[in-house]
Amino acid sequence: GIQVEQSPPDLILQEGANSTLRCNFSDSVNNLQWFHQNPWGQLINLFYIPSGTKQNGRLSATTVATERYSLLYISSSQTTDSGVYFCAVQNTGGFKTIFGAGTRLFVKA
Amino acid sequence: DAGITQSPRYKITETGRQVTLMCHQTWSHSYMFWYRQDLGHGLRLIYYSAAADITDKGEVPDGYVVSRSKTENFPLTLESATRSQTSVYFCASRKGGAETQYFGPGTRLLVL
């Protein structure tokens, strides 16, 4: 099945810093989402982005489907950005959504 | 707008007992999913359903049973709970084949 790899696995930032999280996938996809799991365990949708670029406040994401990767940008990080960021994909013609292992982010005040 | 809910939110049971975790969504989404989340393994798909009465196995289906008699409900049953099934279980739903997926709040299950 499709493989999803996220990097880095862990990231520590000083408040105010910028960061880029990466998601590589092994097959063509028709669905890619970024989620944030907050420290209370809640999974929150950030972006639905099978291709192209989207922005929402301090967060933006870009997916280059032909090269099989997606990037999540966090600018001017805040302590509330801490948590785990997951990339999830659904391969073309399939129904399952498969998750990467996540990037654990800690933002220091 | 209730969205997607799970019950119970916390459950403690003993090895060998049958446990059913409930998932309910109010959007009439066609697709529903069950995941488990364990340290070191991320989120793994247990079962999914494309519509009422249509279910299929995910990555880790052994020891679990699902049913979907109504579009809005997707219960997950552990027929004979084992300690290895201690986990956080998330239910999710999606309107169509390639759309945004939404998650419930999760159920924390402890099997003693």
Check residue B63 and give its pLDDT.
97
Kindly report the nearest CA distance between residue B104 and chain A, in angstroms.
Answer: 8
Least confident of A70-74, A90-94, B3-7: A90-94
CA distances from B32 to A2, A16, B43 (A): 20, 38, 15
Asked if A50 and B98 come within 8 Å (Cβ–Cβ), the reply is yes
> Is A80 in contact with A54 (CB distance < 8 Å)?
no
Distance (Å) from the alpha carbon of B30 to chain A's nearest alpha carbon? 11
Domain ranges of chain B: 4-95
> Across the interface, do A99 and B99 touch by the CB < 8 Å criterion?
no
What integer pLDDT is reported at residue B47 of this predicted model?
95
pLDDT 10s digits, A27-66? 988 889 999 999 889 999 999 999 999 999 999 999 999 9
pLDDT in tens, B51-91: 999 999 998 999 999 999 999 999 999 999 999 999 999 99
Number of structural domains in chain A: 1
Structural domain of residue A30, as residue ranges? 4-108
Q: CATH top-level class for B4-95?
A: mainly beta
With contacts defined as CB-CB under 8 Å, which chain B residues touch A90?
97-98
Query: What's the gap in Å between the CA of B112 and the closest CA on chain A?
Result: 22
